[in-house]
Amino acid sequence: MNFRFFVVVHFILLLIRIYIISKTFIIDDEAYYHMYSKHLAWGYIDHGPIVAFLIKIFSIFSDSGFSLRFGAVLSTCILSISTYVFGKFYFNQKTGMYLSLLISANLLFHINSTIITPDAPLSLFLILAIMGYYISYHYNEKLIYISGFLLGMAILSKITAVFTALAIVTYPLIAKDLKYWIYKKEFHLSFLIAFIVSSPFIIWNINNDFAFIRYQGAHATEEGDLEDFFELWLSLAILVGPILYYYSVIYPLKKIRFLKKLNQNSTYFIYITAVPLIYFITHSIFSKFEINWPAPIFLSGLFIVGIKLGQIKSFSKKILLQIGYSASLIIIITVQTFKPFLPINSISDVTNRYHIYKDLLIEIPKILRESPELRGLRIASNNYQIPSIINFYLKPDLEATCLSIGYHETLYSFIHDDIIGEDFLFIKPKYGRPDWMESNFQSMSFIKEFTAIRDNNIIAKYSVWHLKNYLGKENVY
Element holding 315 (H helix, E strand): none
| pLDDT digits 0-9 by tens, 151-166 | 999 999 999 999 999 9
Q: What is the mean pLDDT of residues 103-112?
A: 94
Question: Hey, is 291 helix, strand or coil?
Answer: coil
Cβ-contact 430, 54 below 8 angstroms: no
Structure confidence at residue 222 (pLDDT):
86
> Residues with Cβ < 8 Å from 337, sequence gap 6 or more?
20, 24, 351, 354
| pLDDT digits 0-9 by tens, 350-360 | 999 999 999 99
What residues does each domain of the chain span?
Answer: 3-338, 355-470
Cβ-contact 95, 87 below 8 angstroms: yes
Question: What sign for the dihedral angle of Cα 301, 307, 311, 315?
Answer: positive
Structure confidence at residue 476 (pLDDT):
42
Residue 275 has pLDDT above 50, yes or no: yes
Between CA 85 and CA 70 the distance in angstroms is 23
Structure confidence at residue 475 (pLDDT):
53
- The 10 Å CB-count burial string (b at 16+, else e) for 44-82 is bbbbbbbbbbbbbebbeeeeebebbbbbbbebbbebbeb
| pLDDT digits 0-9 by tens, 157-214 | 999 999 999 999 999 998 878 899 999 999 999 999 999 999 999 999 999 999 999 8
Cβ-contact 425, 411 below 8 angstroms: no
Between CA 357 and CA 451 the distance in angstroms is 10
Residue 315 has pLDDT above 70, yes or no: no
> Residues with Cβ < 8 Å from 67, sequence gap 6 or more?
58, 59, 61
268 CB-contact burial (10 Å; exposed 0-12 / middle 13-18 / buried 19+): buried
Element holding 106 (H helix, E strand): none
Question: Hey, is 454 helix, strand or coil?
Answer: strand
Between CA 442 and CA 176 the distance in angstroms is 70
Between CA 352 and CA 452 the distance in angstroms is 10
Looking from the CA of 282 toward its CB, the CA atoms found within 13 Å total 7
Tell me the pairing of strands 424-429 and 457-470: antiparallel
Q: How many CB atoms lie within 10 A of CB 141?
A: 15
Residue 474 has pLDDT above 50, yes or no: yes
> Could you give phi then psi for residue 237, rounded to 5 degrees?
-60, -40
